[in-house]
Amino acid sequence: MTLRLATRRSPLALLQARYVAERLEAHGVDTVLVPIETSGDQNLTDPLSALGGQGIFAVEIQRAVLRGDADIAVHSAKDLPSVTPEGVVLACVPERRDARDVLVGCSLADLAHGATVATGSPRRRALLLERRPDLNVVELRGNMASRLARAGQDGVNAVVAAAAALQRLEQESLIAEFLDPSWFIPQVGQGALALECRVDDSETIRLVGPLNNVDASLALEAERAFLRELGAGCSIPVGAHAAWREGVVHITGVMADPFGRRSVRHAVTDADPRVAGTVLARYLRDDCGGGALVAARSSE
C-alpha cells in the first residue's frame, strides 16, 4: 500500500511533507507526494487579511483527500480553518517544533525609531505596534525564501517569521531575536503539523497513528477550540498557545486591536483541552473586553 500525501507546492510545505513521508517510511509505509497549488499560493498580491481568513492554504488540499485523489493532507496546523470539514478527521499531530515568532534582519531593541518591519500577519502587526508604535509595518507575501530576502532590501529593516519554519529550512542563523511568547503570543497551531484523513479511511488513520505526539495533539486541540469559539468571522488579530503538562493543558490567548492600541490577554488551565480553549475565548471576548475590540473594528 502506498499512501498519497497532499501538500502545498511551496518549498517549505514540500519539506514538511517529506519529513512526514520519511517518518511513515521508517514504519514500513510507502508514500508519494501529491503537490497542490492552493488559492493562497496563486494570489501573492492581496493582503492575507483580504483573502477570506484561514483556509486559503488548506481547502484545496482537503478537497483532494475528500475526492480520493490523496490519502493524507499534510498541513501547517496554523493554516487550518477553525472548523474541520465534514468527511475529514484530524488524525495525527507529529512532534511540534518551536512555536515562537522571530525577527530576521534586526532585533526589536536595535530597530531605529520609525524603522520598517514586514509581515503579512495582522496578529504580528498588532503585537509589534503595541510594543513599538513608532514602527512602520508593511505587507509581506510570497514563499519563505522571498520573505526572508526582504530583510535589508527596499527599505525593510526586519521581517517577522515563524521559528519553526527557519528550523525546518536549517536557516536558524538568520534569526536576530526570538520574540517572547509571553507577550508575542503565537498564532494558533504555529510550529505544528496536522495530518488529515478521510473519516472513513480507518486503515490510513491506523498507519499514521505512530507519528502522533499526544502532548502536541492535546495542545493543538485546545488552541483550535479557542479559535473555533471565536468563529471564522472574527475580524481582529488573535493568538493562542497551549502546552500539555502533567495531565492538564495550560493555554494563553490574546485579542488585539489591529493597530496595536489595545489588547486583552488571559490564561486558563484545565484537564479538558476543548474546555480550556473555549473558556479562554469566551473570557477574552465576553469578560475581558475583547468584544469591544471586535465592535470597534467592525465600525471602522
Catalytic residue set: 79
Q: State how far the Cα of 221 lies from the Cα of 225, in Å rounded to an integer.
A: 6
Helix (H, G, I), strand (E, B) or coil at 240: strand
In the chain, beta strands by DSSP E: 2-8, 30-36, 72-76, 88-92, 101-104, 116-118, 136-138, 158-162, 175-178, 193-198, 238-245, 248-256, 263-270
* Matching residue, cell 508575542: 184
Grid cell at residue 25: 517510511
Nearest Cα to 148, choosing from 129, 171, 170, 132?
A: 171
Q: Is the dihedral of CA 105, 111, 117, 122 positive or negative?
A: positive
The β-bridge partners of 266 are 253
Residue 114 gets the label, from left (phi > 0), alpha (psi -120 to 50) or beta, of left
